[in-house]
Every structure is written in structure tokens, then in C-alpha cells.
């Protein structure tokens, strides 16, 4: 069963929505959250209801506190963006346009699924830390 809720771009709204969904669907087994604030809200409700082990939480947008919850197994995964690379490539594209080069139709920086198993891997480092 899939339930699609309304957007929650802040933690309190996410907490309210999560409580409503858990009440309506007590057998819920997973939640996908699209923003860091909404992931924090879902996490808070699952923890307060002692449901972090029975409801799998996958979030988007990596933040240090959320990654710590991955490390403890309280959040299953975070779909992470390499924002440093996105910015670097955007500046390169802008510079190219200014130099008269054609702009590609599309530029993609693929996301990475951070999990407890790969959180400390070399590949994950590009999504969890930034060059100095």
C-alpha cells in the first residue's frame, strides 16, 4: 500500500503529518521523506513512538545529524546530493557559455544512497564532506 501525503517543509508540520499517517496506517513499514526538515520530523515521531525499528525511514538531503542516525541504524538511508560538485559544474557551464561554448541540453550529477554499510566509504566522502 502506498500513501502519498502532503508536502512538509518544516519539522513541526512533518511531525503532525507523520502522526496522522501512523494513526491511519498502523501497519506502515516505510517512509520516504524528501527534505531534511521533514526527515527530522518523521524521525522524531518514530523515536517517540518507539517505531524506528519497525518503520524504515529513507530521507533526502544529507545533514550531519541525519547521517549520525544512519550510523546508529535509526534511519535506513539518505539519498544524498553532491552539492559541491553541482556548484563546481554549474560554474564551469556558466564560464563555458561566457566563452561562447554551447550549453549542453542537460547536466546530471547523480545522487548517492548513503547507508550504514557505505557511510564511511571513499565513495560516500564526496557526499558527506567538502574540499577545503
Can you give the pLDDT at residue 3?
56
- Residues recorded for the chain: 132
Q: What per-residue confidence (pLDDT) applies to 2?
A: 53
The pLDDT of residue 14:
87
Divide the 132 residues of the chain into consecutive groups of 10 and give the mean pLDDT of each group. Answer: 60 89 91 92 92 89 88 92 90 96 92 93 80 52
- Give the Cα separation of 19 and 17 in Å (integer): 5
The predicted pLDDT at position 130 comes to 55
Other residues' Cβ atoms within 10 Å of the Cβ of residue 86: 13
State how beta strands 30-32 and 77-80 pair: unpaired
Q: How many CB atoms lie within 10 A of CB 29?
A: 9
Quote the radius of gyration of the chain (alpha carbons, Å).
18
* pTM for this entry: 0.80
Amino acid at each position: 500500500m502506498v500513501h502519498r501525503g502532503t508536502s512538509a517543509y518544516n519539522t513541526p508540520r512533518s511531525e503532525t503529518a507523520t502522526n496522522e499517517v501512523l494513526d491511519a496506517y498502523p501497519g506502515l513499514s516505510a517512509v520516504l521523506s524528501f527534505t531534511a526538515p521533514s526527515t527530522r520530523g518523521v524521525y522524531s515521531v518514530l523515536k517517540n513512538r518507539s517505531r524506528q525499528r519497525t518503520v524504515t525511514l529513507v530521507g533526502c538531503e544529507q545533514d550531519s545529524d541525519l547521517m549520525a542516525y544512519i550510523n546508529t541504524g535509526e534511519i535506513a538511508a539518505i539519498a544524498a546530493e553532491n552539492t559541491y560538485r553541482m556548484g563546481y559544474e554549474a560554474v564551469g557551464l556558466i564560464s563555458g557559455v561566457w566563452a561562447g561554448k554551447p550549453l549542453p541540453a542537460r547536466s546530471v550529477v547523480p545522487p548517492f544512497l548513503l547507508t550504514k554499510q557505505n557511510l564511511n566509504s571513499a565513495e560516500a566522502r564526496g557526499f558527506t564532506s567538502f574540499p577545503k
